[in-house]
Amino acid sequence: MKAKGSNAERQLVAMFWEKGYAAIRVAGSGSSRFPCPDVLASNGQKTFAVEAKATKTEYQYFRKDQIEQLINFSQVFNAEPILAVKFSSKWYFFYLTNLSITKKGEYVVKKKDAEDIGIYFEELIS
Protein backbone atom coordinates (compact mmCIF):
# COMPACT_ATOMS: atom_id res chain seq x y z
CA MET A 1 0.00 0.00 0.00
CA LYS A 2 2.78 2.43 0.93
CA ALA A 3 4.70 1.56 -2.24
CA LYS A 4 1.70 2.49 -4.39
CA GLY A 5 1.47 5.89 -2.70
CA SER A 6 5.21 6.51 -2.90
CA ASN A 7 5.29 5.60 -6.57
CA ALA A 8 2.38 7.93 -7.27
CA GLU A 9 4.15 10.76 -5.44
CA ARG A 10 7.33 10.12 -7.44
CA GLN A 11 5.29 10.24 -10.63
CA LEU A 12 3.89 13.64 -9.62
CA VAL A 13 7.38 14.95 -8.91
CA ALA A 14 8.50 13.84 -12.38
CA MET A 15 5.45 15.47 -13.98
CA PHE A 16 6.26 18.80 -12.33
CA TRP A 17 9.94 18.65 -13.32
CA GLU A 18 8.99 17.92 -16.93
CA LYS A 19 7.02 21.18 -16.99
CA GLY A 20 9.76 23.37 -15.53
CA TYR A 21 8.80 23.20 -11.87
CA ALA A 22 11.22 22.23 -9.13
CA ALA A 23 9.51 19.52 -7.11
CA ILE A 24 10.27 17.27 -4.19
CA ARG A 25 8.54 14.40 -2.47
CA VAL A 26 8.41 14.87 1.28
CA ALA A 27 9.30 11.45 2.65
CA GLY A 28 7.35 10.50 5.77
CA SER A 29 4.91 13.34 5.27
CA GLY A 30 2.11 11.34 6.87
CA SER A 31 4.11 10.55 9.99
CA SER A 32 5.94 13.80 10.71
CA ARG A 33 5.02 15.74 13.82
CA PHE A 34 5.10 18.88 11.67
CA PRO A 35 2.54 19.62 8.97
CA CYS A 36 3.91 18.91 5.51
CA PRO A 37 2.51 17.95 2.11
CA ASP A 38 3.33 14.84 0.09
CA VAL A 39 4.76 16.90 -2.77
CA LEU A 40 6.01 20.47 -2.91
CA ALA A 41 6.45 22.11 -6.33
CA SER A 42 7.25 25.62 -7.56
CA ASN A 43 8.36 27.46 -10.66
CA GLY A 44 9.14 30.66 -8.76
CA GLN A 45 5.75 32.16 -9.57
CA LYS A 46 3.36 29.40 -8.52
CA THR A 47 3.92 27.11 -5.55
CA PHE A 48 1.83 24.04 -4.82
CA ALA A 49 1.58 21.97 -1.66
CA VAL A 50 0.05 18.69 -2.77
CA GLU A 51 -1.59 15.92 -0.77
CA ALA A 52 -1.64 12.94 -3.12
CA LYS A 53 -3.50 9.63 -3.19
CA ALA A 54 -3.68 6.76 -5.65
CA THR A 55 -6.69 4.46 -5.66
CA LYS A 56 -8.51 1.88 -7.70
CA THR A 57 -11.78 2.45 -5.85
CA GLU A 58 -14.63 4.82 -6.69
CA TYR A 59 -13.96 7.15 -3.73
CA GLN A 60 -10.96 8.70 -2.08
CA TYR A 61 -11.16 10.18 1.40
CA PHE A 62 -8.84 12.72 2.99
CA ARG A 63 -8.95 12.91 6.78
CA LYS A 64 -9.82 16.20 8.42
CA ASP A 65 -6.41 16.41 10.10
CA GLN A 66 -4.63 15.86 6.75
CA ILE A 67 -6.52 18.79 5.26
CA GLU A 68 -5.92 21.01 8.27
CA GLN A 69 -2.18 20.27 8.12
CA LEU A 70 -2.11 20.93 4.38
CA ILE A 71 -3.84 24.27 4.88
CA ASN A 72 -1.55 25.24 7.77
CA PHE A 73 1.59 24.38 5.82
CA SER A 74 0.33 26.16 2.71
CA GLN A 75 -0.42 29.35 4.59
CA VAL A 76 3.05 29.50 6.15
CA PHE A 77 4.80 28.51 2.91
CA ASN A 78 2.61 30.74 0.74
CA ALA A 79 1.61 27.77 -1.40
CA GLU A 80 -1.64 26.73 -3.05
CA PRO A 81 -3.07 23.67 -1.23
CA ILE A 82 -4.02 21.04 -3.79
CA LEU A 83 -5.40 17.53 -3.52
CA ALA A 84 -4.31 15.10 -6.22
CA VAL A 85 -6.02 11.77 -6.82
CA LYS A 86 -4.92 9.15 -9.28
CA PHE A 87 -7.96 7.06 -10.15
CA SER A 88 -6.54 3.92 -11.77
CA SER A 89 -4.12 5.57 -14.21
CA LYS A 90 -5.49 9.11 -14.54
CA TRP A 91 -4.59 12.08 -12.34
CA TYR A 92 -7.07 14.72 -11.24
CA PHE A 93 -6.32 17.80 -9.15
CA PHE A 94 -8.71 19.53 -6.80
CA TYR A 95 -9.00 22.84 -5.01
CA LEU A 96 -10.34 22.35 -1.50
CA THR A 97 -13.33 24.58 -2.17
CA ASN A 98 -14.66 22.20 -4.84
CA LEU A 99 -14.97 19.11 -2.65
CA SER A 100 -17.69 17.58 -0.54
CA ILE A 101 -17.19 17.15 3.19
CA THR A 102 -18.62 14.14 5.01
CA LYS A 103 -20.37 14.25 8.39
CA LYS A 104 -17.04 13.16 9.95
CA GLY A 105 -15.36 16.22 8.44
CA GLU A 106 -13.45 14.23 5.82
CA TYR A 107 -13.04 15.50 2.29
CA VAL A 108 -14.22 13.05 -0.32
CA VAL A 109 -13.41 12.81 -4.01
CA LYS A 110 -15.71 10.65 -6.10
CA LYS A 111 -14.41 9.18 -9.32
CA LYS A 112 -17.71 9.90 -11.06
CA ASP A 113 -17.38 13.61 -10.20
CA ALA A 114 -13.67 13.93 -10.99
CA GLU A 115 -14.26 15.03 -14.58
CA ASP A 116 -16.62 17.81 -13.44
CA ILE A 117 -14.88 19.26 -10.40
CA GLY A 118 -11.28 18.17 -10.92
CA ILE A 119 -8.74 19.77 -13.18
CA TYR A 120 -6.07 18.20 -15.31
CA PHE A 121 -2.38 18.73 -14.67
CA GLU A 122 -1.95 21.04 -17.67
CA GLU A 123 -4.72 23.30 -16.33
CA LEU A 124 -3.17 23.34 -12.87
CA ILE A 125 0.21 24.55 -14.02
CA SER A 126 -0.96 26.99 -16.71
Active-site amino acid positions: 29
Q: Read off the DSSP letter of residue 97.
A: G
Count of Cβ atoms closer than 10 Å to residue 29 Cβ: 23
Q: Tell me whether residue 20 is exposed, middle or buried, using C-beta atoms within 10 angstroms of its C-beta: 0 to 12, 13 to 18, 19 or more.
A: exposed
Euclidean distance between the first and the last CA atom of the chain, given in angstroms as a whole number: 32
Contact predicate 62/53, CB 8 Å: yes
- As a residue count, the chain comes to 126
Q: What CA–CA distance (Å, rounded) separates 46 from 56?
A: 30
